[in-house]
Amino acid sequence: MLKLMNAQACMEQLSAYASSALIDEAELTPKPGLVDLQSNGAHDDLNVELMRRSAFALQPTFAKMAEAAYGSKPSMQLRERLAAIGRDGERIMLEATGGVNTHRGAIWALGLLTAAAAIAECGDPDFLIGFNPPPLQAGFQSGGVETPPDSPMFSHAERVRCPADIARIAGAIACYPDRFAPASNTHGQQVQRQFGAAGARGEACQGFPHVLRLGLPALLDARSRGLSETCARLDSLMHMMSHLEDTCLLYRGGRYALHTARQGARNVVSLGGTSVKEGWQALEQLDRDLLAQHASPGGSADLLAAVLFLDRIKGGSRLSTRQSGKG
């Protein structure tokens, strides 16, 4: 099988993409309830400088994940190796931020996607044709679903850099158990017990449906309509937030906070998105509503970083949001 990049180049490029996707997500402004260039959202202990520091500090973690996965296939051994690197990454993040949880969910999502992209980069994506992730939760619109390009018209590079294949490989890795996971009682686990939410683990095991079926198509659709990069990214976030069962929202504010976020994001989308005056006003209203509840959609923010990561791999726009205005 043709290898597009050697291991070193693969590690360097994928880890740089992952780290800059985190920075692009943090700098996207204005995001409701979240840290951005203008505010700390619903967070007392976070700010954009801390998010940037965390994103830079995590680049070697993503490089290690790419290195571990390059040339391999999804397996329990790989899952356990990545989990060890991920837990080490969490320690590095906490050291860099003075103990603040900036990117725990992102280490998980982007770590799996980085590893999957490294596998795809030097392997044959066909080996996953038999892998079927669990059924999607109800309520997904399938508009713009990207299916793996299997026509001979697609080049090898297009095939191995196909977001759907990468997400499917990431899902296959995530579904393996990690025998060395320490016993813990995370916010996510508490919320899972209380509300039955599948959280970050469920999203990954299903092959990142919110990223693939909502976030990425919304980003590409907005760009194809000539909208600014800022609006395209905000629309992508709104589409995912409309549906995601975000454990950050559930932990902080229960079902009411989750409903506020989903309904508010649906309003933005149904009013035509953030490039339309009424949609923009709905975005501002959503920010006020989330702040009033001290609620933060941190899971959606992580998934936006995942969208931006896959978009980069696919060769999408490298525009910084700061270079473009609203509308």
Ligand X SMILES: CC(C)(COP(=O)(O)OP(=O)(O)OC[C@H]1O[C@@H](n2cnc3c(N)ncnc32)[C@H](O[C@H]2O[C@H](COP(=O)(O)OP(=O)(O)OP(=O)(O)O)[C@@H](O)[C@H]2O)[C@@H]1O)[C@@H](O)C(=O)NCCC(=O)NCCS
Ligand Y SMILES: Nc1ncnc2[nH]cnc12
| Least distance from ligand X to the Cβ atom of residue 275, Å | 26
Q: Which residue number, 10 or 172, has a Cβ lying nearer to ligand X?
A: 172
By CB under 6 A, the count of residues binding ligand Y is 13
142: CB partners within 8 A, 6+ apart:
213
**Options 40-48, 55-63, 180-188, 249-257: segment touching ligand Y (CB under 6 A):** 40-48
| Least distance from ligand Y to the Cβ atom of residue 43, Å | 6
| Least distance from ligand X to the Cβ atom of residue 39, Å | 14
State which of residues 18, 19, 25, 242 lies at the interface with ligand Y (CB under 6 A). Answer: 25
> Which residue is it, tokens 């409701």?
32
Q: x/- string (CB under 6 A) for ligand Y, residues 56-95? A: ----------------------------------------
> Which residue is it, tokens 């506020």?
260
Q: Amino acid identity, residue 303?
A: L
Based on the shown chain and the rule CB under 6 A, indicate whether residue 298 belongs to the binding site for ligand Y. yes
Q: What is d(CA 227, CA 213) in angstroms, rounded to the nearest whole number?
A: 20
Of ligand X, ligand Y, none, which one does residue 186 interact with (CB within 5 to 8 Å by kind)? ligand X
State which of residues 302, 303, 309, 311 lies at the interface with ligand Y (CB under 6 A). Answer: 302
Of ligand Y, ligand X, none, which one does residue 209 interact with (CB within 5 to 8 Å by kind)? none
CA distances from 59 to 16, 165, 299 (A): 6, 23, 20
* Closest of 259, 240, 239 to residue 249, by C-alpha: 259
The answer to whether 188 touches 283, Cβ cutoff 8 Å, is no
Q: Which helix (H) or strand (E) holds 202?
A: helix 199-205
CA distances from 143 to 128, 216, 244, 261 (A): 24, 11, 16, 21
53: CB partners within 8 A, 6+ apart:
96, 97
The answer to whether 302 touches 200, Cβ cutoff 8 Å, is yes
Q: Which residue number, 111 or 123, has a Cβ lying nearer to ligand X?
A: 111
Of ligand Y, ligand X, none, which one does residue 273 interact with (CB within 5 to 8 Å by kind)? none
State which of residues 26, 83, 162, 265 lies at the interface with ligand Y (CB under 6 A). Answer: 26
Of ligand Y, ligand X, none, which one does residue 240 interact with (CB within 5 to 8 Å by kind)? none
The answer to whether 97 touches 147, Cβ cutoff 8 Å, is no
Of ligand X, ligand Y, none, which one does residue 189 interact with (CB within 5 to 8 Å by kind)? ligand X
196: CB partners within 8 A, 6+ apart:
none
Q: Which residue number, 215 or 217, has a Cβ lying nearer to ligand X?
A: 215
| Least distance from ligand X to the Cβ atom of residue 53, Å | 14
| Least distance from ligand Y to the Cβ atom of residue 30, Å | 11
| Least distance from ligand X to the Cβ atom of residue 244, Å | 5
Q: What is d(CA 145, CA 241) in angstroms, rounded to the nearest whole number?
A: 17
The answer to whether 301 touches 39, Cβ cutoff 8 Å, is no
Q: Which residues of the chain form contacts with ligand Y (CB under 6 A)?
A: 25-26, 34-35, 41, 43, 46, 51, 106, 296, 298, 301-302
